Copies of this chain bind each other. A is one copy, B any other.
């Protein structure tokens, strides 16, 4: 296996400078003359001068009579001035040109007509109610400076003053070439098999380019074949594209190909940037064009597109890069970071009380869902070793700021009913958004304790008391006044393959040879439940093969069973049903939502209560299977246990 030798990774700013120094943008991006009516979003190459004034002539701004101001100076209440039609005044409507003999307009409401005579009782100053020549724009003045991104308003101004054609820089054109033996072309709507992925970075870039006002064209994926890739790059360089992007596959071989292919026809200037994700990004120049080697992992690709390609594309077209709105947010969990690299951390952000709270999402560079679930991104600088919980971060918003006030962050245990809650909240008026941070039940309670969340989802069973959640609230959140409301009663059990091929009937079977268990993470209510039942059956963790293999959600456990990566895991019935798996019931448990009293009256919490108690919600939950909704929406108290069982 040939090792890929990286150049020293360099900071993003240095990478951009190297590329700019090697490109001749005057030669690469030409100027074109286009009609002003379709110039919105384009960048002016020269200042634009007005051809005509606007208005072109003095005109009446009101309906009334045009007069000479000097004729009215003696008019007073009780001592009116009379003007004769023709010589003294004429009627005008708004927009009519002002006859040159006159220099002011009196509103018709202030005129008393008597045959041909107009009587007025107060004087007017020159230019009263007159829209003056050039009041808006004067011929020959500079209407737009150079290097201006033409706005919709600018289009209006350009047409108003007769600047019908404008010199603008070409629209930046990008060609993107996805590559990789493992990538499948989405156009055939494929079902990915082992080691295969549906190629998506190219269309993500096309969608970004559209936002940026740039053109982007994608070609079908190229296999990891040096000659095929060279041919595709050649075609891209010969096209009218200014920038050619090669998206790497994820294999080691694929990464080598991109660099070598560029070096056949040009020069690689940057191979590796000090950014995570995004490190294995390449920048090169070939035949005067910019060539970008984007990493295969989706989030790495996004960093490459947004932090390298976009600034360079803006520089080419003299466009001012758009910056995202930022808010200051308090970090609710500590975040590690790499020294010497900028870490791009995706965040779930919501309002808690008066401040914004940020919860870091997974760091996986391959997880595009961290971009779809995030409300913001923050950059941890190279010198940082990480940030502690409670630190303030600058959160670059991926959503509209107005949304944050209606975004509720729920921290805690994952459950499919949270998706139903999220969907019903979106149907409300106004719609509310639910952002979830799945850190397990204990993580949720700790978030509440730290003031990092308004809502926690938890299903912690206390074997000693036989009660749910309250014993943990008493132990870990003493003194915090909370409201506990039930979301649903869930059925937990052992998720097994269809037909239960290994004949698993209970916990005891997990100690058998050849039975591979898959556990949940520490702090998860499901894990605590498993440990309880494990102890009840007289077994210890070391007896269970796979006890130390951990997944973070019910669905992940189910998927592992479905693909035969595990034989069995404890999870909710809903997860088994969703994937067509069999289910060996083990226990019922209570999944509650915990809300600090301080937020009880918040609009977002009120919406949650309304949804959780609604029949529509309960119906959808029951349809999932494996849930009971008798207590959904009901306020819980210590010792209530479960419906139908004696109080704890």
Given contacts A94-B251, A159-B186, A159-B200, contact A323 B402 (CB under 8 A): yes
Q: Nearest-CB distance from A252 to chain B (Å)?
A: 5
Tell me how far the C-beta of A316 lies from the nearest C-beta in chain B, rounded to whole angstroms: 14
Q: Are A162 and B551 in contact (CB under 8 A)?
A: no
Task: A52 to B192: give the CA distance in the assembly, Å.
Answer: 8
Interchain CB contact under 8 A, B152 and A367: no
The answer to whether A133 touches B565 (Cβ under 8 A) is yes
Interfacial residues, chain A to chain B (CB-CB below 8 A): 1, 36-37, 40-41, 47, 52-59, 61, 63, 69, 91, 93-97, 100, 103, 108, 125-127, 131-148, 151-162, 164, 182, 186-187, 189-201, 203-208, 210-211, 249-253, 296, 298, 302, 320-323, 325, 362, 364, 366-372, 398, 400-403, 416, 419, 422-423, 426-427, 431, 433, 546, 548-551, 553, 555-556, 558-560, 563-565, 578-579
On whether the beta carbons of B134 and A559 are closer than 8 Å, the reply is yes
Question: Could you jot down 20 A-B contacts, CB within 8 Å?
Answer: A57-B565, A69-B548, A95-B249, A96-B251, A134-B559, A135-B362, A136-B364, A139-B579, A141-B419, A145-B419, A153-B398, A154-B372, A155-B207, A157-B200, A157-B372, A159-B199, A159-B203, A160-B200, A162-B189, A321-B400
B252-A162 in contact (CB<8A): no
- Quote the shortest CB–CB distance from A560 to chain B (angstroms): 6
Tell me the complex Cα distance, A94–B365, Å: 13
Chain B residues lying within 8 Å of A555, measured Cβ to Cβ, are: 134, 138, 140-141
A368:B160 contact, CB within 8 angstroms: yes
- For the complex, give the distance between the alpha carbons of A191 and B160 in Å: 10
- Give the top 8 A-B pairs by smallest Cβ distance, nearest first: A152-B207, A40-B207, A156-B204, A153-B371, A159-B200, A95-B250, A136-B367, A97-B194
B155, A369: Cβ atoms closer than 8 Å: no
Do the beta carbons of A142 and B549 come within 8 Å of each other?
Answer: no
A421 CB → nearest B CB, Å: 10
Contact assessment for A160 and B298 in the assembled complex, using a CB-CB cutoff below 8 Å: yes
- A220 to B: closest C-beta gap in Å: 13
| In the complex, residue of chain B having the shortest beta-carbon distance to the beta carbon of A53 | B559
In the docked arrangement, what's the CA distance between A252 and B94, Å?
6
CA distance A382 to B208 in the complex (A): 40
